[in-house]
């Protein structure tokens, strides 16, 4: 099993401009997490509003949900050491007060694109867990998520989208990901343990030949993400494919550590 190493570096000047240690419900703030997972992307530098905020960010990196003042931000991403004029991503990200977002750059480097997904961090009902699947495998077809017993939970989820949230009783589940309408298992998640009161983000990552699951677990009350492990899949271990679109979420409170099992 290998552990992803996450960057905890921050600049005081950027903190003073961007980080607001306010509660999620407070007026004027949003919660944002950012993931870099483009499978063939090199390490990168990230600029926010013209300020270089992170340097040499490796693939795969994911942040906690962090408080951020509502507004529009210019995000630029360059190969490490390159001038901002050589940005491979130059985009605006707008976040609204009281909302939560996953900000990702999806696809392989030749077709890298920013993707912003609105999340729901409200707590599940007592005794329940919430699960959401993110399809971030750029060359994979649409997929279904099923119970091993055969029941389909999520149908026809296409890249680079996220499913609706599933709210299910806490417990152990044998989950499978297959091409939409097919029975061939591309990700086998036997014995996936879901705990009461948690929100699980399951990412289908990498290219289809080596598709790999990643998971982040969020405790709604604190909006803090904790390490988690998913069962192994067949195929080589590979990266994820979320992005480098925003240093916003990578600044401040510690970075989330995700784990995956080597095949």
Residue extents of the structural domains in the chain: 2-260
pTM score, two decimals? Answer: 0.73
Give the CA radius of gyration of the chain: 18
The residues near 112 (Cβ < 8 Å, ≥ 6 apart) are 38, 41, 88, 89, 105, 106, 243
CA distance 15 to 221: 24
As a dihedral over the C-alpha atoms of residue 254, residue 247, residue 59, residue 135, rounded to 10 degrees, the angle is: 100
> pLDDT tens digits for the chain (263 residues)?
333 333 323 222 232 233 333 333 334 899 988 777 788 888 888 788 898 877 887 777 777 787 889 999 888 888 899 999 999 888 888 899 999 998 887 889 888 887 889 999 999 999 999 999 999 899 999 999 999 988 999 999 999 999 999 999 999 999 999 999 999 999 999 999 999 999 999 988 888 998 888 888 999 865 555 444 333 322 222 222 222 233 333 322 223 323 333 33
Phi, psi of 209 (to 5 degrees): -65, -25
DSSP 85-126: GG-SEEEEEEE-TT-EEEEEEES-GGG-EEEEEEE--PPPPT
Beta bridge partners of 254: none
């Amino acid at each position: 099993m290998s552990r992803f190493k996450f960057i905890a570096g921050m600049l005081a000047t950027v903190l003073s401009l961007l980080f607001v240690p306010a509660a999620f419900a407070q007026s004027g703030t949003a919660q944002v997490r950012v993931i870099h997972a483009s499978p063939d992307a090199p390490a990168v530098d990230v600029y926010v509003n013209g300020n270089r905020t992170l340097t040499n960010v490796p693939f795969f990196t994911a942040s906690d949900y962090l408080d951020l003042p509502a507004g529009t931000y210019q995000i630029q991403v360059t190969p490490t050491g390159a001038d901002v004029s050589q940005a491979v991503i130059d985009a605006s990200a707008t976040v609204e007060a009281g909302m939560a977002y996953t900000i990702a750059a999806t696809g392989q480097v030749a077709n890298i694109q920013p993707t912003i997904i609105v999340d729901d961090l409200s707590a599940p009902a007592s005794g329940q867990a919430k699960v959401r699947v993110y399809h971030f495998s750029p060359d994979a077809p649409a997929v279904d998520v099923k119970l091993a017993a055969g029941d389909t939970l999520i149908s026809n989820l296409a890249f680079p989208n996220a499913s609706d949230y599933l709210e299910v009783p806490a417990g152990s589940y044998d989950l499978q990901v297959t091409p939409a309408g097919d029975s061939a298992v591309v990700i086998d998640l036997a014995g996936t343990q879901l705990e009461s009161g948690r929100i699980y983000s399951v990412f289908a990552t990498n290219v289809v030949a080596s598709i790999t699951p990643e998971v982040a677990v969020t405790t709604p009350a604190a909006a803090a993400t904790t390490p988690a492990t998913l069962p192994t899949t067949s195929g080589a271990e590979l990266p994820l494919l979320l992005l480098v679109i925003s240093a916003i979420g990578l600044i401040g409170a510690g970075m989330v550590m995700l784990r995956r099992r080597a095949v």
